A and B are shown apart, each in its own frame.
Chain A
Amino acid sequence: MKRETALLLAPGVLVLTLGFVLPVLRVLTLAFDAKTGFGLDNFARFFADSFYPLVAWRTVRLSLVITLVTALFGAPLALVMARAPRWLRMALIVVVVLPLMTSVVVRTFGWLVILGRGGLLAQTLAYFDLAGRNFSLMHTETGVVLAMVQVLMPFVTLTVLSTLEKIDPRLEEAARVMGANFWTTLRHVVVPLAMPGLVAGSLLVFALSASSFVTPGLIGGVRLPVLGATIYQQVTGTLDWGFAAAQATLLLILALVVALPYAQGARRAGASR
């Protein structure tokens, strides 16, 4: 390796080692640390009854739903932005990114006001006689998904937008002249070419929602715990770091099990161009 390359790599390697590799190793040693030295006690406790496996299942399920919904809403928005005049595109980017600039706690409290009993949503639905006065999306998975989608959508929208902008507009025109209408052009030309961006964006969303705990904690409450929240509870509440580390390890494994085949498929799709 050239000396310049080594020097350029050094800061990144240093930060990754201190901030990622060492902590992960420490979490792993904590997870496998039993009273008798090395052991699986912490994992045995996780699977002792159905509570924690159900929490893990909810975490994965919610993350998948959130990923799907962000893709369904975020990708078409990216298409609109890619076609919009420059000023409108800039305005939309600001609107999409703005939630990321707000503190997660403030943003979540905003959702409490909207989703809670007697909140904006309940009042509106009641006004049109679509729901009772005490309708509330608090402590429901729908509420959690809504609040998470709002903040995670920019990750899909912006990555898809950047791939869409790289597609030669002549390709769509060629497809139209050859007899494809708007929708078939979208299906055969635009979507396949935008796939790498959609895959990268939704992987980000999946990873971020699987590890989130503030928003699910505040909106889902204690009735709908996710792994992020139970880990947080073990670390700050009961101070059982070994058990927290075991849960963190399982969360990492779950995320990899979902993400790796997905990334693999994307690579194969990407290799065909």
Chain B
Amino acid sequence: MAQLRIDGLTKRFGAVTALDAVDLDIPDGAFVAMLGPSGCGKTTLLRCLAGLERPTSGTIRLGEADITTLPPERRGLGMMFQSYALFPHMRIRENLRFPLKMRGRGDAAAQDAKIDEALRAIRMEGMGDRYPREISGGQQQRVALARAIIADPPLLLLDEPLSNLDAQLRKQMQIELIELHRRIGLTTILVTHDQEEALSLADLVVLMNAGRIEQIGAPRDIYRKPATAFAAAFLGGANLLDVVVENGLARAGDGTALGPLAAPDGPRRLVLRQEALALRDAPRPGEATLAARIVAVAFNGATSRVVVEAAGQRLELTVPAAAIEGRAAGATAQLCFILADAPLV
């Protein structure tokens, strides 16, 4: 295992810049999630790491070695594809044997032992003689993961590994991935567009947008303290309220005084998480408040999603279903939040 170091990595496809001078250090044993909308460059970055794309410029270092231009077969990495990429003409055993055979790991007997161990670990003993099309999607997914790590790679790359599974199986596999990572401590890089998956699996989230890294941080930090408007909106779908700071006092767009804010003068945007907003008849002590009109209410069971209009902007909030009872579209209420808890971007 080794530290991964990416310096100024750039990849252009004709006139399109998929990766724009990306710098990233990944510590040994980390579980990193590359998160971002489609086309943000996260998959291109992963493919550059695997050697499937040649970067236009920049370097990739794994431990001491510069692997930027090394062909994929000489990097010794493990990778799992979104489509699993199991060989349809090989039985499960032979699929698992492939990386061992190609890397010349042990004789046939040693490989057999390793394959049996892997099949046991994914609870598929006795299914080694089946073909990939004869097992379920969840089993294919586990075989693909086992095949990616069977030759003990220093780095595991996962390209949207769970997106082909149904919601229930996905939750279960997320837990298994976390356990696997904790058990063998393998440096893992996961590419996903699913923010919930990134937040729950990784201990380091790399948020990407338009070929650049938007923010790097622990899941909690990146959620609580988004550095940019993009980070705030992409993670958790936060509201961005336009405010103007004047002599340390924040005012909403309609002129309502919200309270003191330690920030330089000028227009700012306030990040208001859906769960940080509440609708009441009157604010509690210490809360900032805005007059709001309810536009729509959507009942979700335990919670309700409410769209309101306040200070000339539409804002969304999620509240306990009981808290909104008696209020309907068209009614007015006070939109309350704690100003000091809301980050500025």
A→B interface (CB under 8 Å): 168, 170-171, 173-181, 184, 188-189, 192-193, 272-273
Contact = CB atoms under 8 A, between A and B. Distances in A.
B52 A180 contact: no
Closest 7 CB pairs of A and B: A179-B102, A174-B85, A178-B99, A176-B72, A170-B85, A179-B103, A177-B79
B151 A179 contact: yes
A189 B88 CA distance: 9
Contacts of A180: 73, 98, 102
A168 B83 contact: yes
A273 B132 CA distance: 8
Contacts of B147: 178
B72 A177 contact: yes
Contacts of B102: 175, 178-180, 184
Interface string B48-61: 00111000000000
B343 interface: no
A179 B88 contact: no
Q: Is the contact region of chain B dominated by helix, strand, or loop, or is it mixed?
A: loop
Contacts of A178: 73, 98-99, 102-103, 147, 151
A270 B85 CA distance: 19
Nearest to A178: B99
B76 interface: yes
B183 interface: no
Given A170-B83, A173-B52, A178-B151, 12 more contacts: A170-B85, A171-B87, A174-B81, A175-B87, A177-B72, A177-B78, A177-B79, A178-B103, A179-B73, A180-B98, A188-B87, A272-B131
A206 to B, nearest CB: 24
Q: Which of A177, A193, A273 has the most CB of B within 10 A?
A: A177
Given A178-B147, A273-B133, A173 B72 contact: yes
A98 B71 CA distance: 38
B79 A174 contact: yes
Nearest to A170: B85
A181 B83 CA distance: 21
Contact of A272 (B71, B89, B103): B89
B96 to A, nearest CB: 10
Nearest to A269: B89
A182 to B, nearest CB: 9
Contact of B51 (A176, A189, A192, A273): A176
Q: Which of A178, A180, A193 has the most CB of B within 10 A?
A: A178
Given A170-B81, A181-B73, A273-B133, A175 B98 contact: yes
